[in-house]
Amino acid sequence: MPSWQGKSKGTKTGYRIFVAILRTFGVYPAYFLLRFVALYYFLFSFSSSKVIFLYFRKMLAFSRIKSLVNLYRNYYQFGQSLIDKIVLMSGLPNKFTFNFDGEEYLRDMAAGGKGGMLISAHIGNWEIAGFLLKRLDTKINIVMFDGEHKQIKEYLDKIVGDRHVNIIVVKDDISHIYEINNALSKNEFVCMHADRFVEGNRKMKRTFLGKEAEFPLGPFLLASRFDVPVSFVFAMKESSLHYHFFASEPHHFPVADKKKNQDLLMNEFVRQLEMKVKAYPTQWFNYYNFWSA
């Protein structure tokens, strides 16, 4: 069955080069260099290229030529998302602009006094989504696998500094569950991804883009058990220097039937994720065999 291995690609040297360019010349020269880096992955990263090509060709029914062109665009836009994250979160001068759809929903959740869960996916720029949430008058906690290599993570921490969010790392001893509960009890927001799992995680199958795929059960199970409102959030890149932030109307189901609640949440998440994938097909950044067949 498909599964993510819990690690992200990249090298410390590569990050150093791009940070130096960003500090000296700005975003556009970094984007220019990125075109060659994206071409390298397009030509030589066979395992990830294969699954993304099949995503375009089989799941979205693009032609072979369109699938190849979008494969390159996918690598390029993924690199842009990393560059944009560094620029915005390290405070480098920039001219990025943003649209906010549904911000009022999140403010209502914050005013409700029960905290809330924000569920997203590896589409668009999830780090930018977390950064933009600092506009809200509540603390943001992001639950994540410690998937970056240690040296890269330490280097980015030095460059980015204060991320304006608290990172809750998923651990085998489930101590992260207590951290999540503690955050929600303080009326804070907890952000989680619901499109990746590692072996051993509980998961459920849903039809996604016409074929069966597996989704982690954890985010929906937690939302149901903690009885907190849930919003689905995405930050999508719409031009070189413009992002569009989306937040759905909060879902708050009765707690009497928790199994039904988690199923309803998962169904709605898959529906909204599918809509975003179809609207922004080249910003899908899951580089492994996502579908069961």
Per-residue pLDDT tens over the stretch 71-126: 999 999 999 998 998 888 778 888 999 999 999 999 999 888 888 999 999 999 97
Phi and psi at 169, nearest 5°, equal -90, 130
User: Residue 50 pLDDT > 90, yes or no?
Assistant: yes
Q: Which percentage of the chain shows pLDDT scores above 90?
A: 51
Report the C-alpha gap between 172 and 156 in whole angstroms. Answer: 25
Contact assessment for residue 30 and residue 44, using Cβ atoms and an 8 Å cutoff? no
* Half-sphere exposure at residue 270, Cβ-oriented, CA atoms within 13 angstroms: 22
The arithmetic mean of pLDDT across residues 30-48, rounded, is 95
pLDDT at 163: 57
pLDDT at 158: 62
pLDDT at 147: 59
pLDDT at 293: 57
The arithmetic mean of pLDDT across residues 268-275, rounded, is 96
Contact assessment for residue 155 and residue 162, using Cβ atoms and an 8 Å cutoff? no
pLDDT grade for 145, boundaries at 50, 70 and 90: confident
The arithmetic mean of pLDDT across residues 66-73, rounded, is 98
Q: Give alpha helix (H) positions in 91-212.
A: 103-111, 126-132, 150-160, 175-185
User: Residue 251 pLDDT > 80, yes or no?
Assistant: yes
User: Residue 274 pLDDT > 80, yes or no?
Assistant: yes
pLDDT grade for 146, boundaries at 50, 70 and 90: low
pLDDT at 8: 54
User: Residue 2 pLDDT > 70, yes or no?
Assistant: no
pLDDT at 1: 42
Report the C-alpha gap between 132 and 74 in whole angstroms. Answer: 23
Q: Residue 57 class from Cβ within 10 Å (0-12 exposed, 13-18 middle, 19+ buried)?
A: middle
**For 128-137, what is each residue's pLDDT tens digit?**
877 778 788 7
Query: Distance between the two ends of the chain, CA-based, in angstroms?
Result: 8
Residue with tokens 């609207």: 279
pLDDT grade for 24, boundaries at 50, 70 and 90: confident
Q: Which percentage of the chain shows pLDDT scores above 70?
A: 87
**For 153-212, what is each residue's pLDDT tens digit?**
565 566 555 556 777 887 777 788 889 999 998 989 999 999 987 777 788 999 999 999
Q: What is the pTM of this model?
A: 0.88
Instruction: Please tell me which of 60-64, 186-190, 215-219, 251-255 the model is most confident about, judged by mean pLDDT.
Output: 60-64
Q: Of the ranges 32-46, 171-185, 208-222, 250-264, which one carries the lowest mean pLDDT score?
A: 250-264
Partners of residue 44 on adjacent β-strands: none
